[in-house]
Chain A
Amino acid sequence: MIVEAVGLRKSFGSQVVLDGVDLQVAEGTVFALLGPNGAGKTTTVRILTTLAHPDGGSATVAGYDVVRQPAKVRAAISLTGQTVAVDDDQTGRENLVMLGRLMHLSRPRARQRAAELLDRFDLVDAMDRRVRTYSGGMRRRLDLAMSLVATPRVIFLDEPTTGLDPSSRTTMWDAINELVRTGTTIVLTTQYLEEADRLADRIVLLDHGRIVADGTADALKEQVGGDRLDLRFGTADDLARAASRLGPGALPDTEQLLLQLPSDGSAKQLHVVLDELRDAGIEVARVSSHRPTLDDVFLTLTEHR
């Protein structure tokens, strides 16, 4: 395990932010910490990146203890925080070369590394413009590029796409997926379920400083049940007749004139259901097929506690 935490606790005054968090991240995987605002995601990341001390518990990153060997941990990781950490009045290239020099690369090597990263993050056209003139998406990409100057073993991304427009978000996801292909381990926090779903091998759902679920996106979705068919009717009478016809598995919602059926997701089942209703003279107004999303997981697990 390249990241391992046991029983992390942290309070600010009387407010408990982390209440015993255990984490295990395998090398070369993408690990997502998912949770609403104030769940303790950022605090967890700050502890793992040596920027904050835990009140209790312990953690190792790349085999080093985050409290006792912070310098070793820092040399193995990089952090891209919630606020973009670049100099607005330097150009993209100057920012990257500066960081390379501070990582003690030789001047030519720092320049070469900057050029590689500018190319990889699609910033070549803007490299000699001041960062002040960049769009939000370009700034985030530069910020991520800054984290990669020294090829860290673990990259921590704290809400990498918060506040980005959908197209910048997609570009950012591509960049992150690209990193995974090179074997880098990624720990990311996000409030977006779609993001965790798209990127993460493993998801930990955090709520009020505790882990409420842990697993792959699919395993989490299964916790709230399988696929469903939603049938909508024009009248309450049609709804009632359809419900009695389709048996005990069907859940009617008389207010919305909606009938929810468990489904295996196949087209054949849809045919059978629609044929049966047509034969009985019941008119179906709309049909939709519904796969549980992480949103369902999220709401189910964070509300019903």
Chain B
Amino acid sequence: MSTTLVHGGPGNAVSDALTMIGRSIRLSRRNVDTLIMAIVLPLLLMTLYVYVFGGAINTGTEYINYVVPGILLLCTGHGAASTAMSVTYDMTSGMIDRLRSLPIRSGAVLTGHVVASVARNAMSTTVVLAAALAMGFRPVAGAGDWLLVAGLLLGYVLALSWLAAGLGVLARTVESASAFSFVMLFIPYLSSAFVPTDTMPAVLRPISEHQPITPVIETVRGLLTGTPIGDSGWLAVLWTAALLAASVTFAITTYIRRTTH
């Protein structure tokens, strides 16, 4: 038996990350409950909004065209937040001691979870979008607009997944980590996701207009359905980039702090 250990090196960093990504994707593919929840919940909400509330909400357009971008954001946010639970599960099981005693970089474990989260979300978003089209959603976007939407949503999911990963490292139990999913389920209500913000009371309006989700939603909505985007475009990019940078830093420093005593 001549097993040799090789340390460090950029090639190893990439292969470590790929190994951890493969692991996390396998684990999420087999965690059927979470996967179903990530698709069924947005579908239910969309049905509820389009067929139950939609008739009474006046947004000046077909309500389904108004609400679908919001549903997409809610779907991705909720999906990304479940990363917190898988990270906490790793941190509280014996697995983390095994992983950290290996000669691999600190980021590899979290990278695996985050990339798996992006893959999960790409899938659930596609399903939700297909259902929206079947329910009568009529986007006017060209190929370039679709690419921009995909890019923006990708950045948004990445940022939220890293944030969730960091919170997952901090959380002591899987139950408390699941709280982030609830937060991400409710934050879109305080934005322009379901109703225009100018219908909200004066106290809530500034919060709803200036929280990061609103410009992202307005941009996605503008790109897909042709509504004016205005300042929202660069605000969305700025918010997403800043959130991503902050989340990655937060997640990795927290991970390093938690795994060295």
Closest residue of chain B to A86, judged by CB? B95
If A89-B31, A104-B103, A149-B3 touch, does A83 touch B23 (CB 8 Å cutoff)? no
Total interface residues on A, using CB and 8 Å?
35
Instruction: Determine whether the beta carbon of A85 is less than 8 Å from that of B95.
Output: yes
* Bound Cα distance A51, B99 (Å): 12
Instruction: Determine whether the beta carbon of B3 is less than 8 Å from that of A105.
Output: yes
If A74-B101, A81-B94, A85-B98 touch, does A53 touch B261 (CB 8 Å cutoff)? yes
Q: Is B123 in the interface zone, CB < 8 Å from A?
A: no
Instruction: Determine whether the beta carbon of B1 is less than 8 Å from that of A151.
Output: yes
Of the residues A49, A75, A83, contact of B94 by C-beta under 8 Å: A83
* Bound Cα distance A149, B4 (Å): 10
Q: Is A2 in the interface zone, CB < 8 Å from B?
A: no
Q: Is B5 in the interface zone, CB < 8 Å from A?
A: yes
If A87-B23, A98-B23 touch, does A104 touch B97 (CB 8 Å cutoff)? no
* Bound Cα distance A81, B96 (Å): 11
Q: Is B207 in the interface zone, CB < 8 Å from A?
A: no
Instruction: Determine whether the beta carbon of B5 is less than 8 Å from that of A113.
Output: no
Please give, as numbers and ranges, the residues of chain A lying within 8 Å of B261 by CB-CB distance: 51-53
Instruction: Determine whether the beta carbon of B31 is less than 8 Å from that of A75.
Output: no
Instruction: Determine whether the beta carbon of B95 is less than 8 Å from that of A74.
Output: no
CB contacts under 8 Å to A, within B9-66, are 12, 15-16, 19-20, 22-23, 26-27, 30-31
Distance in Å from the Cβ of A62 to the closest Cβ of chain B?
A: 13
Q: Is B258 in the interface zone, CB < 8 Å from A?
A: no
Of the residues B3, B16, B26, B27, contact of A102 by C-beta under 8 Å: B16
Distance in Å from the Cβ of A43 to the closest Cβ of chain B?
A: 11
Of the residues A50, A51, A82, A151, contact of B3 by C-beta under 8 Å: A151
Instruction: Determine whether the beta carbon of B98 is less than 8 Å from that of A104.
Output: no
Instruction: Determine whether the beta carbon of A74 is less than 8 Å from that of B93.
Output: no
Distance in Å from the Cβ of B104 to the closest Cβ of chain A?
A: 6
Q: Is A124 in the interface zone, CB < 8 Å from B?
A: no
Interface hub of B3, B7, B16, B20 (most chain A Cβ within 10 A): B3
Instruction: Determine whether the beta carbon of B93 is less than 8 Å from that of A89.
Output: no
In which size bucket is the chain B interface? 20 to 34
* Bound Cα distance A102, B109 (Å): 11
If A83-B93, A85-B93, A85-B95 touch, does A51 touch B27 (CB 8 Å cutoff)? no
Q: Is B102 in the interface zone, CB < 8 Å from A?
A: yes
Q: Is A130 in the interface zone, CB < 8 Å from B?
A: yes
Please give, as numbers and ranges, the residues of chain B lying within 8 Å of A96 by CB-CB distance: none
Instruction: Determine whether the beta carbon of A89 is less than 8 Å from that of B30.
Output: yes
Instruction: Determine whether the beta carbon of A103 is less than 8 Å from that of B31.
Output: no
Residue-wise, chain A 40-67 has the 8 Å CB interface mask toward B (1 for contact) of: 0000000001111100000000000000
Of the residues B23, B99, B103, contact of A75 by C-beta under 8 Å: B103
Q: Is B202 in the interface zone, CB < 8 Å from A?
A: no
Q: Is B134 in the interface zone, CB < 8 Å from A?
A: no
Closest residue of chain B to A149, judged by CB? B3
* Bound Cα distance A99, B101 (Å): 11
Please give, as numbers and ranges, the residues of chain A lying within 8 Å of B6 by CB-CB distance: 104
Instruction: Determine whether the beta carbon of A94 is less than 8 Å from that of B103.
Output: no
Q: Is A176 in the interface zone, CB < 8 Å from B?
A: no
If A51-B261, A150-B3 touch, does A89 touch B97 (CB 8 Å cutoff)? no
Distance in Å from the Cβ of A60 to the closest Cβ of chain B?
A: 17
* Bound Cα distance A90, B15 (Å): 19
Q: Is A146 in the interface zone, CB < 8 Å from B?
A: yes
* Bound Cα distance A94, B30 (Å): 13
Please give, as numbers and ranges, the residues of chain A lying within 8 Å of B102 by CB-CB distance: 74, 99, 102-103
Distance in Å from the Cβ of B28 to the closest Cβ of chain A?
A: 9
Distance in Å from the Cβ of B210 to the closest Cβ of chain A?
A: 41
Residues of B participating in the A interface, judged by any CB pair closer than 8 Å: 1, 3, 5-7, 12, 15-16, 19-20, 22-23, 26-27, 30-31, 93-95, 97-99, 101-104, 261
Pairs A–B under 8 Å by Cβ, sample size 29: A50-B101, A51-B101, A51-B261, A71-B103, A74-B103, A75-B5, A82-B94, A83-B94, A85-B93, A85-B97, A87-B23, A87-B95, A89-B27, A98-B23, A99-B98, A101-B15, A102-B16, A102-B20, A102-B99, A102-B102, A103-B3, A103-B5, A104-B5, A104-B6, A104-B7, A105-B3, A130-B30, A149-B3, A151-B1
Residues of A participating in the B interface, judged by any CB pair closer than 8 Å: 49-53, 71, 74-75, 77-79, 81-87, 89-90, 94, 98-99, 101-105, 109, 113, 130, 146, 149-151
Which 5 pairs across A and B sit closest by C-beta, in order of nearness? A85-B94, A83-B94, A85-B98, A89-B30, A104-B6
